[in-house]
Amino acid sequence: MICLPISIWCISKSIYIVDCEMSTTILYSIIGIIIVALNLKFAQSLIGKFTKWMSNI
């Protein structure tokens, strides 16, 4: 989470726009990857519960 304060500082100072854009892009891509990973884990657990429930019928 080092990128976030840097990008906020960049935006407030309006200096190093390229570095700021790069840091925010990296930050958003990391957040996106984390969200996708969490969604995959959640989906896998749901599928696992569903298959267990189906096998019990």
Q: What is the pLDDT of residues 3-57, one digit of tens each?
A: 555 556 555 555 555 566 677 777 788 888 888 888 888 888 888 888 888 888 7
Residues 6+ apart with CB under 8 A from 20: 6, 7, 10, 11
Alpha-carbon distance 23 to 30, whole Å? 11
Residues 6+ apart with CB under 8 A from 10: 16, 17, 19, 20, 23
pLDDT, position 26 = 76
Using an 8 Å Cβ cutoff, are 24 and 5 in contact? no
